[in-house]
């Protein structure tokens, strides 16, 4: 089930309380092995307890089909890792507290607020992360992006990458959505320019064009 079917809180990598706990406690103890890339990508497990941080630690993030090496403090969010370490600036930092959806990426096929997930959490679980940049690997618009343009579904465009990724996750799981279903599914993304009508029309149209395929 897509997280878009669930209450807003469930789309987050962590609940707010768990997130704060992990941020404050990561440097104290995290159950894992030595931070090799293999460990971080889930190839090995161990019951030993090891402390990470507060200084930087090497880790690997699987982003848009590529494993990317980064060295970050455990407190760094996935959003900041993408933007500041990997130069993937499509996901935007607006509220930075899990309310606006501007930072939406897809993690393990689910729409996710990247400001509420730690980079180390994504690394240690070997999460598969998709960003808006991954929709145009050769510089060509994904059908969702081009349909947004056709329906004039953006003004300033600041919220648009988040909407596109949220829509992509939803369409992948629900190939034939109605207008009302799209409206509900995108309820976790806010647009200060008020482009909601165009966005919904674009997503319904894109779903028809994609014919259920994960293009
Ligand atoms: S910046 Fe992440 S939800 Fe607003
Ligand atoms: S297009 Fe400006 S915030 Fe959505």
Task: Write the pLDDT tens digit of every residue in 70-116.
Answer: 999 999 999 999 999 999 999 999 999 999 999 999 999 999 999 99
pLDDT band at 212 (very low <50, low <70, confident <90, very high): low
**Cβ(183) – ligand 1 distance below 6 Å:** no
Q: Is 70 exceeded by the pLDDT of residue 45?
A: no
**Cβ(9) – ligand 1 distance below 6 Å:** no
Per-residue confidence (pLDDT) for residue 22, from 0 to 100? 52
Mean pLDDT to the nearest integer, 52-63: 94
Task: Express each pLDDT in 154-204 by its tens digit.
Answer: 999 999 999 999 999 999 999 999 999 999 999 999 999 999 999 999 999
Higher pLDDT, 215 or 43: 215
What's the CA-to-centroid distance between 94 and ligand 1, angstroms? 6
Using a 6 Å CB cutoff, which residues line ligand 2?
154-159, 191-193, 195
Question: Residue 121 and residue 22: Cα distance in Å, rounded?
Answer: 9
pLDDT band at 139 (very low <50, low <70, confident <90, very high): confident
Element (H, E) at 213: none
Choosing from 96, 161, 192 the residue with most ligand 1 atoms within 8 A of its CB, the one to mutate for a pocket test is 96
**Cβ(100) – ligand 1 distance below 6 Å:** yes
Element (H, E) at 137: none
Per-residue confidence (pLDDT) for residue 137, from 0 to 100? 84
DSSP 10-48: GGBSS-HHHHHHHHHHTTT-EE-----HHHHTTS-----
Per-residue confidence (pLDDT) for residue 189, from 0 to 100? 98
pLDDT band at 3 (very low <50, low <70, confident <90, very high): very low
Q: Is 70 exceeded by the pLDDT of residue 43?
A: no
Question: Residue 3 and residue 81: Cα distance in Å, rounded?
Answer: 23
Choosing from 100, 149, 156 the residue with most ligand 2 atoms within 8 A of its CB, the one to mutate for a pocket test is 156
Taking CA atoms only, the protein residue closest to ligand 1 atom 3 is 98
**Cβ(102) – ligand 1 distance below 6 Å:** yes
Whole-prediction pTM: 0.80
Relative to the CA of 157, which ligand 2 atom is closest?
A: 1
Question: Residue 199 and residue 213: Cα distance in Å, rounded?
Answer: 20
**Cβ(159) – ligand 1 distance below 6 Å:** no
């Amino acid at each position: 089930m897509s997280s878009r079917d669930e209450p807003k809180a469930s789309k987050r990598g962590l609940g707010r309380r768990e997130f704060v706990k992990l941020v404050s406690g990561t440097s104290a103890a995290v159950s894992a092995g030595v931070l090799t890339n293999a460990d971080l990508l889930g190839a090995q497990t161990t019951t030993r307890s090891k402390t990470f941080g507060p200084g930087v630690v090497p880790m690997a993030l699987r982003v848009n089909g590529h494993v990317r090496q980064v060295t970050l403090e455990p407190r760094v969010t996935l959003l900041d890792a993408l933007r500041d370490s990997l130069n993937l600036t499509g996901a935007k930092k607006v509220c930075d507290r899990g309310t606006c959806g501007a930072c939406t990426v897809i993690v393990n096929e689910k729409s996710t607020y990247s400001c509420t997930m730690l980079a180390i959490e994504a690394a240690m679980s070997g999460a598969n992360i998709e960003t808006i940049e991954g929709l145009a690997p050769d510089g060509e618009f994904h059908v969702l992006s081009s349909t947004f343009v056709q329906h004039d579904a953006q003004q300033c465009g600041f919220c648009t990458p988040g909407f596109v990724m949220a829509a992509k996750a939803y369409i992948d799981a629900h190939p034939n959505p109605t207008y009302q279903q799209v409206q509900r599914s995108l309820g976790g993304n806010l647009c200060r320019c008020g482009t909601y009508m165009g966005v919904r029309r674009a997503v319904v149209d894109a779903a028809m064009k994609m014919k259920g395929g994960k293009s």
